[in-house]
Structure 1
Amino acid sequence: MKRVACVYGGSHAQLATLADPALAPYRIQPVHVRELTAVAVADADVVVVSDRVRPDLLIPRSPAVLACLDRGATVVVFGVNAVGDWLPGVREESRPTIFWWWRTGEDHRIRLRAPDHPAWPCFAERAVVWHYHGVLEPPAGAVSLVDLETDTGERDGSLLYIDEASTPGRLLVTTMDPVYHHGSGFMPGATQLLYSAMQWATRS
């Protein structure tokens, strides 16, 4: 069974998510960001960085997460974590969030990519088309599964990508924040993304 660690900051949503009975089979080991060191996650096969961890605490301790990738572990980094400041080769730009597009009739401009990628069996469309907090330009060799388009139909950037090329490990990065919304009990799709990411990260 995969050993899973989750880096969190202690918010109500993070604590509620960690207490979710549906996640109990993963036997997640919580690691508070203030206690994040290479030793604290040395035995983890999977490291999940919860969304919305304070950047002033996460960024100085991010080498511990990068070391996991260097030794071949799987890392999932959820949104609102200033990844452009600590993940190598990643550019991040903020974008206004389109709330409640399914009620207003707006085009969410979220587009699914790479339909033959082996990760897709883990992710339903509902899990990845709901919400975002910016766009990413991943490093060379990474594959974007979900893009945002501009209102003129041009590619704006990635909302979720998988990188199995730039390090010995596997990396999933998204600008969506499922832990916050799952733990807070609102926003369709958040729970599906959380569960789907866990399935992808822990599968053999």
Structure 2
Amino acid sequence: MSTRPATVIAFLHGGSHAQLATLADPALAPYRIRPVHVRTGTFDALAEAEVIVVSDRLRTDLLTPWADTILATLDRGATVIVFGENAAGTWLPGLREQTRPTVFWWWRTGEDHRLRLCAPGHSAWEFFAHRAVVWHYHGVLEPPEGAVSLVDLHTEDGARDGSILYIDETSTAGRLLVTTMDPVYHHGSGFMPGATQMLYSTLYWATGGRGKTC
């Protein structure tokens, strides 16, 4: 059986219960994820990473010092994933972010979640199912020019309000996926349909299926 090295994945986290539970998930073991603590880790820990996962819900004051290093990895061609509630609009160039009320339990109440899938021909849809990307959000994004929104939030009257998930493959030499969803928190906490699918699908997309070593 031929073997190939696993993609080097750095997981920037803050040591919360949900983040540690996610890192301990046996289903993620084949990815050989390298944890990097946002408080005690060093910038050099990201130097060899081909994929950087910025876990959701990090403290802004602890995350911001990492911004230049994360952006530098994009410039050298890495893939960066920024999950939700990380004030991405304050440190990712060209991005605007606004908070929005979250429709938590639309599948129980019958409310319209007002999320609409976009760019049906984009290659990312080979990795993401509907259930993985329509479940939750914490605000809307207005991506930089050239980025592709995969999921938009619409207002009650049907107008586009902004993106909750986009991929930028034009602004830098790398790939950037940004979302206002927070799958690590919900996966690690053991609730919210779709969060686990989102987390797994994003890692699979980022590695192109190269998590396993054989």
Q: What is the TM-score when the length of structure 2 is the normalising length?
A: 0.94
Q: Is the 8 A contact 1:38 1:67 kept in 2?
A: no
* 1:59 maps to amino acid: T
Please state how far the C-alpha of 1:36 moved relative to its aligned partner: 4.5
Structure 2 SS opposite 1:151: coil
Counterpart in the other structure of 1:139: 144
Q: Counterparts of 1:21 and 1:166 in 2: how far apart (Å)?
A: 35
The 5 Å alignment of 1:1-204 reads 1-203=6-208
Q: Counterparts of 1:70 and 1:6 in 2: how far apart (Å)?
A: 19
Q: CA RMSD in A?
A: 0.9
The unaligned stretches of length 5 or more in structure 1 are none
Q: Counterparts of 1:192 and 1:61 in 2: how far apart (Å)?
A: 27
Q: What is the TM-score when the length of structure 1 is the normalising length?
A: 0.98
Please state how far the C-alpha of 1:35 moved relative to its aligned partner: 3.5
The unaligned stretches of length 5 or more in structure 2 are 1-5
Please state how far the C-alpha of 1:147 moved relative to its aligned partner: 0.3
Q: Percent identity?
A: 74
Q: Is the 8 A contact 1:59 1:86 kept in 2?
A: yes
* Divergent runs of 4+, >6 A: none
Q: Counterparts of 1:81 and 1:4 in 2: how far apart (Å)?
A: 19
